[in-house]
């Protein structure tokens, strides 16, 4: 079965997937099945192997990985069983995101400008980074991988991101001006390199370091945690999406079109990920509730 795992991984990677976690899991499953003398996937074996994980989420991930593998193998060899989907009954829950107010975003940017720095570039870097995330809804990884050559007259060229897709993100004139001012400061500080957002040493910002600095900025800006959970940098993306939906044109048909445009802009591979933002958009949720109630009572949807 190891040979089948290698074939599966090669095919998927040829289409742009990295599959580092899937590789580890499938190798483990193949070894588990081989120890039982099996050369084909059996549902009972998949369940037994997946059940070794400690948490429900981990068991679900292990099981679903085998399910996808089995679907691939059955195309050429029906002797492989096809385990039924979601055997463990797992349902993903999402953390309720913090939606930043305009004043909170301003406070974060102001706190960034006060960061200690050897030559004052780092405060400008973080102020520009937070401003861009708030204005575009980019993933933090997309912003950190952004190259100077990716800034083109039509906007930002976001190359092969989370789902191996490249997309163009148009910028508002104010975002263009702000980014231009930062690049001018960067050039004035005689910092080279291809990446847009760099440290005082001229090196690309590191993902974990950015999160650590952002936590400091959150506290400096006077933001408070919800229970034990502090606002996160990724929630600037949530905030952008929610504000975009709140400002969508009236009329449910036009909102649907707006949702499709937003999914494309954000780089979602599945529009379900975009519809989830409705849960944190009270105004639109009220509209949906009113329409649903009218429908249940026999009115027009």
- Active-site residue set: 139, 162, 234, 237, 268, 277
DSSP 8-state code for residue 249: P
Nearest to 104 by CA among 206, 197, 233: 233
Report, in this order, helix, strand and coil percent for the chain, each rounded to 5. Answer: 55, 5, 40
Residues with Cβ within 8 Å of 164's Cβ and at least 6 positions away in sequence, in order, are: 15, 16, 17
Assess contact for 127 and 115: CB atoms under 8 A. no
Longest dimension (CA), the chain: 68
Handedness of CA 122, 127, 130, 131 (dihedral sign): negative
β-pair partners for 226: 229
- Is the Cβ–Cβ distance between 81 and 43 less than 8 Å? yes
- CA 99, CA 281: separation in Å to the nearest integer? 10
First to last CA, the chain: 53
């Amino acid at each position: 079965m190891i040979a089948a795992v290698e074939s599966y991984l090669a095919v998927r990677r040829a289409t742009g997937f990295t599959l580092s976690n899937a590789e580890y899991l499938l190798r483990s499953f193949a070894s588990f099945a081989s120890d039982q003398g099996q050369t084909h996937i059996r549902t009972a074996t998949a369940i037994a192997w997946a059940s070794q994980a400690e948490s429900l989420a981990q068991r679900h991930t292990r099981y679903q990985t085998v399910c996808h593998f089995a679907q691939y193998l059955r195309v050429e060899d029906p002797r492989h069983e096809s385990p039924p989907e979601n055997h463990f009954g797992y349902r993903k829950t999402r953390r309720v995101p913090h939606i930043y107010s305009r004043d909170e975003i301003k406070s974060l940017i102001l706190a960034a400008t006060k960061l200690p720095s050897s030559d004052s570039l780092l405060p400008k870097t973080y102020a520009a980074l937070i401003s861009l995330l708030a204005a575009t809804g980019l993933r933090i990884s997309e912003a950190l991988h952004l190259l100077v050559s990716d800034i083109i007259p039509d906007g930002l060229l976001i190359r092969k991101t989370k789902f191996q897709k490249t997309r163009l993100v148009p910028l508002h004139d104010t975002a263009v001006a702000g980014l231009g001012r930062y690049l001018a400061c960067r050039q004035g500080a005689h910092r080279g390199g291809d990446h847009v957002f760099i440290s005082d040493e001229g090196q690309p910002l590191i993902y974990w370091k950015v999160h650590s600095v952002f936590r400091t900025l959150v506290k400096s800006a006077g933001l408070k945690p919800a229970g034990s959970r502090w606002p996160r940098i990724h929630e600037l993306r949530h905030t952008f999406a929610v504000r975009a939906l709140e400002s969508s044109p009236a009329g449910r048909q036009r909102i649907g079109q707006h949702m499709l445009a937003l999914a494309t802009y954000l780089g979602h591979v599945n529009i379900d990920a975009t519809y989830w933002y409705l849960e944190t958009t009270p105004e639109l949720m009220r509209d949906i509730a009113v329409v649903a109630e009218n429908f249940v009572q026999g009115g027009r949807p």
